[in-house]
Amino acid sequence: MTLWQFSVREIKSRPGRAALTLISIIIGVAAVVAVAMSVITTRGAYEEMYQTLTGRAAVEIRSEAGGGIDDAIVDQLAERSDVQAVVPILERIAIVYAGQTEAQKKRMKIQVMAIDPARDAKVRDYKLVRGKFFENGKGVLLEAGFARTLGVDLGDEVKLLTPGGLKKLAVVGLLAPEGAAAYRQGAMFVSLTNGQRLFKAKNKVDTIHLAPKDFARSEQLLKEVAASLPPGLVARPPAARSQLSKETLESTQQGLELASALSLIVAIFIILNTFLMNVSERRRQLSILRAIGATKGQIKRLLIGEGLLLGFIGTVIGMVVGMGGAFYLTRLMENLFQTSLPSLQVTPLPFVLGAVLGLGVSLLATYMPAVWASRVSPLEGMRPVAHEDLEGVSPMVTLAGLVFLAIAGVLAYAFFVGLWLRYVPIVAAVLALAGFVMLIPASLGPLSRFVTAILSPLLKMEGELAHRQLLRRRIRTTLTTGVLFVALATGIGLGTTIVNNVDDVGHWFERTVLGDFFVRATMPDMASGLSAEVPDTLGKEIMEIPGVSSVSSARVVSVQVDPAPTAETKDPVGAILIARDFVANDRLELDLREGEPEKVLKDLCAGDVVIGTVLAKRSGLKAGDHINLSREGQKQQFRIAGTSNEYFVGGLALYIQRDIARQKLGIEGVDGYAVRVGKNLDRGSRFRIETRLKEIAEREGLLMQSHEALRAMVDDLVNGITGGLWVLLAMGFVVAGFGIVNTLTMNVLEQTRELGLLRIVAMTRRQVRKMILSQAAIMGCIGLVPGAIVGAGIAYLVGRSSEGEFGRSIEFTLHPIMFFGAFLIAYAIVVIAAWIPAQRAARLDLREALRYE
């Protein structure tokens, strides 16, 4: 027999408590692993997307004035030893004509990408479905789905409108909808030499992408190249590697991180609670060990070893559960961002994080009980009756609690005055929770007395006895009320945040998405804003459908915004410009945060823009300011009529009247149509319109969705995310319920002799049961009432913290049903959990009880 085997046997002898500890660790580790893994997968996927778009390029060279670059520089750059590939690109917007017969004829605006096949293949992926790459530099490549939309197949000819007139080009290859083709769905690829000839741009390119040999040295490369370029050329990170999707991912990631941080705190408290009880229950054993020669160090190591063993098992299981959670979360993100993500990326980081946190939490929660255990006197083994509490609570704990609260307060203050550091709200919330729990021991006496006095008409004498018993075990009572406090504070904090965010999304949707039907090529990618173009003649055809009252088209393009001098950043901010048909005197379809709707609509029609609050925050601009927009070498200034709440591309969006966009920025084409039908239309007519729109969509290879279907889809997305968080919260409550069972069972075991005595002297079974339930009722009030209040505070803090991300706070509303509902459910769990030990106490065998030690 070794001490290790002794530990294992001790753990096995208390399966319930070991399971409780394990569940706590599993939940904490699983949450961390799931969040980290899904965020890595999503980020990795977006990184991959940009790499397909910009290749594995880290530097983009463009002409400052928007003109072409002499391609002689390509060879010069290729001589650099730290560059893996130098990739020149010529981009042009053109019109393509396809189809032989009148019925088949298609005309579409497209982007022509002229590439050097040999160089481009080094940094971008092209996967051919059919056909081949360029033949002697001739021919065009199309994405297979886009070719279908155009109605052309391999070997067919298309006509391209070029500065030299209509040119016939053969389709030599069809690309799979992945790699480079995926995010240039409306693009046509031609060889660079062919492109330069077609667009009369001899020896000219628009952009040069540089792929470094060592990606970690990208910034260094950028600096060096920028310094070496001739005047008129600028080097910068690739345009598509913009912060757009990162911003969008950021807020989602922050929410998930908050949830996992809170679940870790709950785990720490529960593990601490179970380990302290473990020590408390094994006091006699530990004192025997001390008496027969175990040193303090041996006892400490024994207990820490047990904690780490459970921590290790819990961490391993937590990792497996976390992978399942990550799979679920990744699918949710896939829906949320309307994009397809690759299968789960299994990298070491989430596991390292899970292992460090799982074992760290176990160690942290075991250390203090182990130190206390090592202080158990060998004398106790000789006492026939159990000792009172483990230790008095040191005033240092109260002091540390006050310090934690003070730090949390300072952080919260710093946060509100503009220190928008990412983890500040999480750290402040964690410190505030820990600080409050640390104040419980000092305030337990008065609080318990107060609660007992309030409940005395209900609890009577049993309440008074319960109160005294709770104070006898101050540490245990503190930990259990602490778990309840943290669980409810977390529950209400996150729950309220979730509901407020869902309300905010709903509000945005109702204000912004007002069509009855929507026709578009693809769902726009919510993170990058990219979408395929649809024929611009469809609007007219749709308008002709009887019953349709209006058709509003929209075009989404990427632009660069110059920041205000006061903004944090000096670099242009990447944003998505949404060019829409705004109709004067109609209802403004925006969720305005600044500006009067009527006035803003009028200003929009007159040529102003409305910017998303996130963009306003990033660029330091506000309503009434002027904004500089750059697009394909053109820079135009617009007045900002107002700011709006925006969820599209994480709020880095701005709206402009479509005609103005066309005139001033040359923005042509349509990404989608919003169709409105007459207000008093009967169901039959509505159905006929829907059927007709479906026919058109089918013919053109487009998507058609009703407002209800779109709303249902958005709701599904939101419900998916919130569902996951609710499950996490529910598990927190269930585990806290186990904690109650644990505490009260321990109390009952320890009070066995007293309970037996009370039964013999006077108490009925019912009174004994009531006394134990009273303990739960008192602990419930002490833990849950402040928990609910602090939870509301956390929700407020998190809501306000969105100001750092969104440029506005999510409106804080305390939902009475949720607030009181969560409180009552938690209270019910506490009382139900207390029922088992209460029954046990009520059914004590009196003879046994009096002999119990």
In angstroms, what CA-CA distances link 117 with 80, 162, 181, 458?
20, 21, 14, 84
Measured from the CB atom, the residue of 11 and 842 that comes closer to other proteins is 11
Dist. CA 703–CA 698, nearest whole Å = 8
Contact 276, 369 (CB under 8 A): yes
Cβ 379 to other proteins shortest distance, Å: 5
Q: What are 446's two structure tokens?
A: 């008065």
Measured from the CB atom, the residue of 811 and 845 that comes closer to other proteins is 845
Measured from the CB atom, the residue of 282 and 474 that comes closer to other proteins is 282
Cβ 347 to other proteins shortest distance, Å: 42
Longest dimension (CA), the chain: 109
Strands 634-645 and 591-594, sheet pairing: antiparallel
The 510-549 site mask, x for binding other proteins (CB under 8 A), equals ----------------------------------------
Segment near other proteins (CB under 8 A); pick from 273-281, 374-382, 636-644, 669-677: 374-382
Strands 653-657 and 573-580, sheet pairing: parallel
Closest CA to 651 of 512, 500, 799, 496: 512
Segment near other proteins (CB under 8 A); pick from 41-49, 353-361, 377-385, 567-575: 377-385
Dist. CA 208–CA 61, nearest whole Å = 5
Measured from the CB atom, the residue of 381 and 793 that comes closer to other proteins is 381
Segment near other proteins (CB under 8 A); pick from 7-15, 97-105, 411-419, 469-477: 7-15
Residue type, 204: K
Cβ 310 to other proteins shortest distance, Å: 16
Segment near other proteins (CB under 8 A); pick from 175-183, 372-380, 517-525, 559-567: 372-380
Q: What angle do CA 472, 379, 17 make, to 5 degrees?
A: 55
Contact 689, 517 (CB under 8 A): yes
Cβ 376 to other proteins shortest distance, Å: 12
Cβ 718 to other proteins shortest distance, Å: 51
The 618-657 site mask, x for binding other proteins (CB under 8 A), equals ----------------------------------------
Measured from the CB atom, the residue of 297 and 418 that comes closer to other proteins is 297
Dist. CA 719–CA 737, nearest whole Å = 26
Instruction: Determine the size of the site formed for other proteins (CB under 8 A).
Output: 28
**Between helices 707-750 and 15-54, what is the axis angle to 10°?**
150
Closest CA to 438 of 400, 390, 475, 472: 400
The 13-52 site mask, x for binding other proteins (CB under 8 A), equals x---------------------------------------
Cβ 853 to other proteins shortest distance, Å: 7
Measured from the CB atom, the residue of 7 and 24 that comes closer to other proteins is 7
Residue bearing tokens 């820990």: 434
Cβ 749 to other proteins shortest distance, Å: 14
Q: What are 793's two structure tokens?
A: 């505070």
In angstroms, what CA-CA distances link 174 with 154, 238, 535?
7, 26, 21
Cβ 11 to other proteins shortest distance, Å: 10
Contact 331, 36 (CB under 8 A): no
Measured from the CB atom, the residue of 384 and 418 that comes closer to other proteins is 384
Cβ 839 to other proteins shortest distance, Å: 24
Specify the DSSP class assigned to residue 388: S
The DSSP string of 489-538 is HHHHHHHHHHHHHHHHHHHHHHHH---SEEEESSPPPTTT-----B-TTH
Contact 255, 496 (CB under 8 A): no
Backbone angles phi, psi at 671, to 5 degrees: -95, -25
Cβ 378 to other proteins shortest distance, Å: 5
Strands 157-162 and 165-175, sheet pairing: antiparallel
The 378-407 site mask, x for binding other proteins (CB under 8 A), equals xx-xx-x-----------------------
Measured from the CB atom, the residue of 5 and 136 that comes closer to other proteins is 5
Binding residue for other proteins, selected from 75, 79, 102, 853, defined by CB under 8 A:
853
Cβ 296 to other proteins shortest distance, Å: 6
**List of residues 6+ apart from 549 with CB closer than 8 A:** 676, 677, 678, 679
Measured from the CB atom, the residue of 381 and 701 that comes closer to other proteins is 381
Measured from the CB atom, the residue of 310 and 434 that comes closer to other proteins is 310
Dist. CA 823–CA 370, nearest whole Å = 34
Dist. CA 72–CA 31, nearest whole Å = 54
Cβ 258 to other proteins shortest distance, Å: 41
* Helix (H), strand (E) counts: the chain: 24, 22
Site residues (CB under 8 A) for other proteins, limited to 258-317: 284-285, 288-298
Measured from the CB atom, the residue of 119 and 290 that comes closer to other proteins is 290
Cβ 282 to other proteins shortest distance, Å: 9
Measured from the CB atom, the residue of 381 and 597 that comes closer to other proteins is 381
Measured from the CB atom, the residue of 452 and 752 that comes closer to other proteins is 752
Cβ 218 to other proteins shortest distance, Å: 57
Q: What are 178's two structure tokens?
A: 């992945």
Dist. CA 553–CA 539, nearest whole Å = 7
Residue bearing tokens 């309840």: 484
Measured from the CB atom, the residue of 279 and 576 that comes closer to other proteins is 279
Q: Is 2 in the site for other proteins (CB under 8 A)?
A: yes
Contact residues toward other proteins (CB under 8 A) are 1-3, 6, 9-10, 12-13, 284-285, 288-298, 377-379, 381-382, 384, 853
